[in-house]
Structure 1
């Protein structure tokens, strides 16, 4: 078969692409029967592995990549620090790379691995909803997705993930606002490109208000981009459009702080005029005045767990894992109970 690749071999053998890759690279976690079957097909079709890919796979690199979506979200800072400590403790080196807001995250991850010949990769944020095993077939590099959420894909065996239940956490945050008596609740979330997190938090928002008999109105939604400025601008657009807000749920603390600043700039008070609920639990939320009520994510532990899983795969040939961490609602000064 001319120009055959490992996908063709996998189809003929009736096995996964990753199984063919493990056979080619002499990984031990393949049964002898499967190994023999795959090798017979390889010989029969005269398959010749891509040399550059083989060289990449045989690399003795001790570099671990961390790919961060965007450069503005301080929530990732603690995760990165925790990963770096775990990587250094094992004698490896961390290479940090920022992916801009509009680049394709899967393509950026693949290019990063190939360019740096990484031993492993942890991705913070980004949209990996269309990630397929074929994307990783020539890399043979373990991938861990952290702080992103592929809700329906948590059981897929060719990558690992460490995340939270974004929809549930958002539901609990907005339910808290509803139980304080708020009915005119706005939301600032991220756009269509943030399917893995922003969309799930919007779903949680919609479920919570529906539970309390509040109809969803698109006029009460605005879009931001994980920056102070976008939160500031989104709040102003929202209040200009609907002037009767009593509370706002913002799907990241950095946007929530920008929104809070816009509220104060308009001569309004927090929480007397508008209550503000954030999400992430970054340090800025604690030291902003008034301090933000927010959903706290365990960032440091998320980083540590991501690194632990990655090195279990690299050093101990363990299987991929999908871990879901708990969040905590931190009550502070920015939300008020209505009389």
Structure 2
């Protein structure tokens, strides 16, 4: 089988990309039977991590690493596949490194850069707010992909993403135009300085511009320790909101969380979109095939993956200085969002009564 990616192996074994990565890296945190199954599949498929794993033993290795934080967000697996493909074209090995929520991605980056003699790095996900002095310890070029920080402008980072503030504003504005005034949001932990903060700020600004009071009760923040932007976090945060908050629309800042939210609403006897509209962010395939299909902001994954790789390889080859590339997201209207069920009731008391 030619050119199998880590995603193909994961699909074949019915596991996540991070589990395959653990098996390949001999990580202790994996079920032995699962590990055996994965390694057997890899052997049968003649899968070699991108080019040749033997390259990694040589000192002139041409390898980059992709550090993924928030593996529960399946949006990243599409990005990783795109990056792997671009690496193959350039005859580079691509090492996938899963970073746990409580781990510091920069410490891990500094360690594996030396250990594997890497030429470059891509950071995916995480609350990227590291001191400048520490960032300067990285001796290889790196690109932040689908990561933006609110203080990015004055730092010379190479970054590729959508404008999270603007796209989040766009989604909130769309829900307001449908007639919703009580819009709940599921977002990153409070201390997040990255896309979570920007998406929350976009939501707040849209409410302000349309004269809708902002209420902290309608904001559900992820726990800093949990897997971010995952199905489980969406489910958990929505259950917390339902305890004492009324809303007619729920905006989850990732599609995985939107699907988790739909499950929590269904269990509470609330129909989507009949009694509550749900919107996501990312544009994953899963959201398109979920019932109801999820209204979302689609990120141009393939363009982002290609631009990330091109920028990194140009920096490795000394042709390019760090710069920031911003792509346009697309609002995709699907089945999960409609005008509020009872507009009269909503306008009189700002909320809607639902069966509990």
TM category, shorter: 0.7 to 0.9
Q: For the residues of structure 2 that align with 1:318 and 1:238, how far apart are their CA atoms?
A: 46
Q: Is the 8 A contact 1:250 1:256 kept in 2?
A: yes
Q: Is the 8 A contact 2:190 2:221 kept in 1?
A: no
**Superposition map of 1:209-248 within 5 A:** 209-224=207-222, 225-242=228-245, 244-248=246-250
Q: For the residues of structure 1 that align with 2:208 and 2:91, how far apart are their CA atoms?
A: 51
Q: For the residues of structure 1 that align with 2:70 and 2:150, how far apart are their CA atoms?
A: 22
Q: For the residues of structure 2 that align with 1:206 and 1:275, how far apart are their CA atoms?
A: 18
1:89, distance to aligned residue in structure 2 (A): 0.7
Question: Deviating runs (4+, > 4 A) in structure 1?
Answer: none
Which of 158, 180, 184 pairs up with 1:186?
184
Structure 2: 5+ residue stretches without partners: 1-58, 223-227, 344-356
Partner in structure 2 of residue 46 of structure 1: none
Considering only CA atoms, is the larger Rg found in Structure 1 or Structure 2?
A: 1
1:134, distance to aligned residue in structure 2 (A): 5.0
What SS does the corresponding residue of 1:273 show, helix, strand or coil?
Answer: coil
Q: For the residues of structure 1 that align with 2:206 and 2:135, how far apart are their CA atoms?
A: 37
- Number of aligned residue pairs: give it: 279
1:110, distance to aligned residue in structure 2 (A): 1.6
Partner in structure 1 of residue 338 of structure 2: 336
| Gap change, CA 1:141 and 1:70, over 3 Å in 2 | same
1:95, distance to aligned residue in structure 2 (A): 0.4
**Superposition map of 1:297-312 within 5 A:** 297-312=299-314
Q: Is the 8 A contact 1:76 1:299 kept in 2?
A: no
What SS does the corresponding residue of 2:121 show, helix, strand or coil?
Answer: strand
| Gap change, CA 1:90 and 1:111, over 3 Å in 2 | same
Partner in structure 2 of residue 151 of structure 1: 150
Q: For the residues of structure 1 that align with 2:128 and 2:188, how far apart are their CA atoms?
A: 16
Partner in structure 2 of residue 24 of structure 1: none
Q: Which string of whole-angstrom CA distances, capped at 9 and with x for unpartnered residues, describes residues 183-217 of structure 1? A: 11111111034320111111111111111111111
What SS does the corresponding residue of 1:151 show, helix, strand or coil?
Answer: coil
Partner in structure 1 of residue 329 of structure 2: 327
**Superposition map of 1:236-315 within 5 A:** 236-242=239-245, 244-315=246-317
| Gap change, CA 1:182 and 1:134, over 3 Å in 2 | closer
**Superposition map of 1:117-132 within 5 A:** 117-132=117-132
1:61, distance to aligned residue in structure 2 (A): 2.1
Partner in structure 1 of residue 89 of structure 2: 89
Q: For the residues of structure 2 that align with 1:153 and 1:131, how far apart are their CA atoms?
A: 12
1:130, distance to aligned residue in structure 2 (A): 2.5
Partner in structure 2 of residue 116 of structure 1: 116
Structure 1: 5+ residue stretches without partners: 1-58
Q: For the residues of structure 1 that align with 2:149 and 2:240, how far apart are their CA atoms?
A: 31
Q: Is the 8 A contact 1:171 1:207 kept in 2?
A: yes
1:253, distance to aligned residue in structure 2 (A): 0.8
Q: For the residues of structure 2 that align with 1:105 and 1:184, how far apart are their CA atoms?
A: 37
Q: For the residues of structure 1 that align with 2:122 and 2:338, how far apart are their CA atoms?
A: 39
Partner in structure 2 of residue 11 of structure 1: none
1:128, distance to aligned residue in structure 2 (A): 2.5
**Could you tell me the TM-score, scaled by structure 1's length?**
0.79
| Gap change, CA 1:213 and 1:250, over 3 Å in 2 | same
Q: Is the 8 A contact 2:162 2:328 kept in 1?
A: yes
**Could you tell me the TM-score, scaled by structure 2's length?**
0.75
What SS does the corresponding residue of 2:312 show, helix, strand or coil?
Answer: helix
